[in-house]
């Protein structure tokens, strides 16, 4: 039976119950109700559900669908310097003050910054759920131990091929595939028999790796990952953010995609919701999303230079950064700048990003989807 919601949500709730973190679970539920109320009335009824913090735009991969290296180069050319550890902790303070229950640490490759375990421990001490997105290149046994000791709740590792040739080609780096496999093993060994962190694999589907999707599922299962999520490759005309689709997705490939998605909808290892998987063909065909984007109600994205963004993809590509001008995150969330981004986001139908789209589906206005 196809899943109507992203399985990460109920699985996370079960982990929190197992760990006795009832306060965090209650806060997440309260925030969800606030997002629903805010969407109905057209202005936030509290803080967002998810905070995203770009720790750096620097990366040790050069993935075919990513723009962070270009953003890093551009910001360096502008003379901007990343916030130091204290500055990043100030942003974490802001997320906590805003009442955000969950914080995602991302990049670029966040583990390029050696203080990540320190930041994880700091955020956990503030009562936040903490998630890490990484390509796994720097996640050796020592780092896995430090992250587990710091209290990391979940880790997403990118896997874009069922073999080293495909994964390393799409990530444009040598040795990436074996590093991901090792990172999964290191995290599992470091956590032992404890309930966390969740070790998740995420695979970006494109015409380049579509035939390997069943083998990717089998591989994730053989590596004993806790879950496997999929998202469609997304290409945009910058800076307009007009969706371009995947030029390699021929009609035959789209038929192949439909058959593969049918299997993914029923596989218990796959955490993507059926409603999200249903949108993949439109994304890869270059069609605009049928959903209203409610990111301005459920998420807040901030980067390592103290800029806010409309959403994760805008942050990932460095499009239209909005300096917070010395405001705290609660002050900025209530500002006219934030309201302006919220209005712009609702009329945007450019992306199908997994974290935003799954929440958009959860909180979607009645009649918003085409």
Residue 282 tokens, joined:
């439109």
Asked whether residue 1 is domain-assigned, the answer is: no
Could you read off the pLDDT of 160-175 as tens digits, one per residue?
999 999 999 999 899 9
pLDDT for 1: 44
Could you read off the pLDDT of 286-344 as tens digits, one per residue?
999 999 999 999 999 999 999 999 999 999 888 899 999 889 999 999 999 999 999 99
pLDDT for 370: 43
CA–CA dist 221, 63 (Å, integer)? 24
Asked whether residue 46 is domain-assigned, the answer is: yes
CA–CA dist 120, 128 (Å, integer)? 9
**Domain total of the chain:** 1
Q: What's 298's domain CATH number?
A: 3.20.20.70
For residue 199, give its domain range.
Answer: 8-363
pLDDT for 305: 95
Asked whether residue 162 is domain-assigned, the answer is: yes
Residue pair 120/150 in contact (Cβ under 8 Å)? The answer is yes
Asked whether residue 312 is domain-assigned, the answer is: yes
Q: pLDDT class for 16, splitting at 50, 70, 90?
A: very high
Could you read off the pLDDT of 113-123 as tens digits, one per residue?
999 999 999 99
Asked whether residue 369 is domain-assigned, the answer is: no
pLDDT for 160: 95
178 has pLDDT over 90: yes
pLDDT for 368: 57
Could you read off the pLDDT of 188-215 as tens digits, one per residue?
999 998 888 999 999 999 999 999 999 9
Residue pair 103/95 in contact (Cβ under 8 Å)? The answer is yes
Residues 96-112: what's their mean pLDDT? 96
Q: How far is CA 345 from CA 32, 191, 296, in A?
A: 19, 39, 7
Higher pLDDT, 2 or 122: 122
Residues 357-362: what's their mean pLDDT? 95
pLDDT for 367: 55
Could you read off the pLDDT of 237-280 as tens digits, one per residue?
877 788 889 999 999 999 999 999 999 999 999 999 999 999 99
If you compute the radius of gyration of the chain from its CA atoms, what whole number of angstroms results?
Answer: 19
Asked whether residue 139 is domain-assigned, the answer is: yes
Q: pLDDT class for 2, splitting at 50, 70, 90?
A: low
Asked whether residue 188 is domain-assigned, the answer is: yes
Residue pair 228/346 in contact (Cβ under 8 Å)? The answer is no
Q: Which residues contact 252 (CB under 8 A, 6 or more apart)?
A: none
Residue 234 tokens, joined:
């997304």
Asked whether residue 293 is domain-assigned, the answer is: yes
Q: Which residues contact 1 (CB under 8 A, 6 or more apart)?
A: 266
37 has pLDDT over 60: yes
Question: How many Cβ atoms from other residues are within 10 Å of residue 325's Cβ?
Answer: 10
Residues 85-108: what's their mean pLDDT? 96
**Max Cα separation, the chain?**
53
Mean pLDDT (the chain) is: 93
pLDDT for 207: 95
Residue pair 227/7 in contact (Cβ under 8 Å)? The answer is yes
Higher pLDDT, 58 or 63: 58
């Amino acid at each position: 039976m196809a899943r109507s919601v992203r399985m990460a949500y109920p699985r996370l709730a079960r982990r929190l119950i197992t760990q006795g973190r009832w306060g965090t679970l209650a806060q997440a539920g309260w925030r969800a109700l606030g997002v629903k109320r805010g969407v109905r009335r057209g202005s936030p009824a509290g803080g967002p559900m998810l905070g995203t913090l770009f720790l750096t735009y620097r990366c040790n991969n050069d993935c075919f669908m990513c723009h962070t290296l270009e953003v890093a180069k551009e910001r360096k050319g502008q003379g901007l310097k990343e916030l130091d550890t204290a500055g990043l902790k100030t942003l974490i303070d802001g997320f906590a003050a805003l009442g955000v229950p969950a914080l995602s640490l991302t990049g670029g490759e966040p583990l390029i910054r050696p203080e990540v375990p320190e930041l994880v421990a700091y955020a956990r001490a503030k009562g936040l759920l903490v998630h890490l997105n990484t390509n796994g290149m720097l996640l050796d046994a020592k780092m896995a131990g430090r992250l587990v000791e710091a209290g990391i709740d979940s880790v997403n590792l990118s896997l874009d091929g069922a073999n080293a040739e495909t994964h390393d080609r799409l990530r444009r780096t040598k040795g990436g595939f074996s590093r991901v496999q090792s990172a999964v093993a290191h995290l599992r060994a470091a956590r032992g028999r404890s309930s966390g962190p969740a070790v998740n694999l995420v695979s970006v589907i494109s015409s380049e790796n579509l035939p390997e999707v069943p083998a990717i599922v089998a591989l994730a299962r053989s590596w004993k990952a806790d879950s496997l999520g999929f998202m469609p490759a997304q290409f945009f005309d910058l800076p307009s953010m007009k969706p371009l689709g995947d030029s390699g997705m021929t009609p035959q490939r789209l038929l192949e995609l439909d058959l593969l998605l049918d299997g993914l909808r029923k596989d218990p290892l796959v955490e993507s919701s059926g409603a999200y998987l249903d949108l993949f063909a439109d994304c890869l065909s270059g069609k605009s999303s049928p959903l209203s984007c409610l990111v301005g109600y459920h998420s807040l994205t901030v980067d390592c230079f103290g800029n806010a963004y409309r959403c994760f993809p805008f942050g990932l590509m460095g499009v239209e950064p909005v300096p917070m001008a010395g405001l705290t995150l609660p002050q900025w969330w209530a500002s006219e700048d934030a309201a302006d981004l919220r209005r712009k986001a609702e009329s945007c139908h450019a992306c199908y990003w997994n974290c935003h789209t799954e929440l958009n589906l959860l909180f979607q206005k009645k009649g918003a989807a085409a």
